[in-house]
Amino acid sequence: MFARGLTGLLALVVLLGSAVWSAPATAETDCKRVDASTGECMIRVEVPGGPSGPGDSPGEGPRDSGSGASCYWDGTSSGIPDPPPGPVPCSNDFGYWSNALNCYVRLADPQPSEGDPAWQGHEPGDGNVYECWQPQTDLQIQIWLATPPPNSGAGPTPREVAQLAVDRMNLRAIEIGIVPEPGPDRIGIVGMPVYMWVKDPDEHTWGPITATASAGGVTISATARVESIQWDMGDGTKVTCHNKGTPYKSAYGRSKSPTCGHTYETESAGEPGDKFTVTATSSWVVSWEGAGQSGTIRLNGLQRSVRVAVGEAQVLVQ
């Protein structure tokens, strides 16, 4: 026990600097993991998202979940793997949590006398000495700081930081590939198969794409990919495809698309401009992780439209 405590102390000194320390007492418990700051048994529960597959709604797939806690413990950078990184209460009876210092902080009262090693060579009045308690290792030290350490509980949540990462991805709606093709002299035929696909997909229109952002002592990595495309065909039909679709080739003839298609049963005459407006809406899934936490963000607002003409075969012959 002493050797483990000494190892933890050395790791904490690397993190915070040399100081005087003591170990607050903790009670024995049968719980596998106890939050020493609250005495509560900590249990990790993970709820998996639903599987991705064919369906009628772009809302299928992983659910939007997880805001995350602004305050978290992570001792791995100091060689303390146990307990693993994870959220902690942002305050307790001792003080408030600092992500930067990895401990609960409060102003030492009274302040140490002049010449005390806790001042680290500074004079009283030049900054202050703070108590820093790390319940994960049951260690408490004193540190000198020129300014008060920030309260991590006032910072952004991991999800909010993840959103900053998403903002850096420059996600865009897909470029639409479709047959019959849009154009003034292009027209499809009622009853003939329609092919829809993602034209020239890249990381910004289809994914995956990864970005990292940091704020408030929290660093989050986020990865985004398209989970599905909902095609509004303009005739009252909506088709959801969980793939990029198959670009049409003349060799396919009248065969239906094997991946993403539609068949118009009515002509587009009478629609605005005598054409159907086809709109493709991308449903993105963003998975983020960091600060010992993880979650999912759903983005469904990116869309692009084209207009296609469809007519009856006998009318076209005439």
Mean pLDDT of 197-222: 96
What's the mean pLDDT in 282-304? 94
Residue 227 has pLDDT above 60, yes or no: yes
Q: Is cis: bond before 51, omega within 30 of 0?
A: no
196 & 112 share domain: no
Domain of 298 in residue numbering reads as: 158-317
Last residue of a domain, one of 100, 125, 154: 154
Q: Tell whether 79 is covered by a domain.
A: yes
| Predicted local confidence at residue 60, as pLDDT | 63
Q: What is the pTM of this model?
A: 0.72
Is 294 within a domain? yes
Amino acid at 142: Q
Buried b (16+ CB within 10 A) or exposed e, 101-114: bbbbbeebeebbee
**Rounded to an integer, what distance in angstroms lies between the CA atom of residue 313 and that of residue 306?**
22
DSSP code of residue 3: H
Residue 6 has φ and ψ, to the nearest 5°, of: -65, -40
Neighbours of 190 (CB within 10 A): 17
> What's the N-to-C CA distance of the chain in angstroms?
94
Using a 10 angstrom Cβ sphere, with 0-12 exposed, 13-18 middle and 19 or more buried, the burial of residue 126 is exposed
Q: CA angle, 21 as apex, 17 and 22 as ends, to 5°?
A: 155
Residue 87 lies in a domain: yes
What is the H or E stretch that residue 7 is in? helix 2-16
Q: Answer yes or no: do 169 and 128 share one domain.
A: no
> Which of 3-12, 132-141, 288-297 shows the lowest per-residue confidence on average (mean pLDDT)?
3-12
Q: Where is the domain boundary, 102, 122, 154?
A: 154
The span from the CA of 261 to the CA of 196, in Å, is: 6
Of the candidates 113, 137, 154, which is a domain's last residue?
154
In a shared domain, residues 175 and 259: yes
Q: How far apart are CA 6 and CA 15, in angstroms?
A: 14
Q: What is the CATH classification number for the domain harbouring 213?
A: 2.60.40.10
Determine if residue 115 is left, alpha or beta; phi over 0 gives left, psi from -120 to 50 gives alpha, anything else beta: left
Of 261, 258, 198, 262, nearest to 225 by C-alpha is 198
Q: Which residue has the higher pLDDT, 91 or 315?
A: 91
Contact 19, 117 (CB under 8 A): yes
Q: Which residues of 229-255 are buried (b: 16+ CB within 10 A; e: fewer)?
A: bbbbbbbeeebbbbebbbebeeeeeee
φ/ψ of residue 43, rounded to 5: -125, 130
Residue 51 counted as domain residue: no
- The reply to whether 170 and 202 lie within a common domain is yes
Q: What pLDDT, on the 0 to 100 scale, is given for residue 246?
A: 97
Domain match, 218 and 298 both: yes
Q: Are residues 144 and 228 in the same domain?
A: no
Mean pLDDT of 3-13: 36
My answer on whether 219 and 139 are in the same domain is: no
73 in a structural domain: yes
Could you tell me if 150 and 168 lie in one domain?
no
Same domain, 38 and 88: yes
The answer on pLDDT for 90 being more than 90 is: yes
Is the pLDDT at 110 greater than 60, yes or no? yes
Q: Are residues 91 and 192 in the same domain?
A: no
With beta carbons less than 8 A apart as the criterion, state whether 70 and 156 touch: yes
The count of domains in the chain is 2
> How many Cα neighbours within 13 Å face the side chain of 18?
4
Of 31-40, 129-138, 192-201, 296-305, the one with minimum mean pLDDT is 31-40
pLDDT digits (tens, 9 = 90+) for 161-208: 999 999 999 999 999 999 999 988 789 999 999 999 999 999 999 999
* Residue 50 in domain: no
User: Does residue 311 share a domain with residue 246?
Assistant: yes
Mean pLDDT, rounded, for 201-218 = 96
In a domain, 88, yes or no: yes
Within-domain flag for 218: yes
Verify that 138 and 177 share a domain, yes or no.
Answer: no
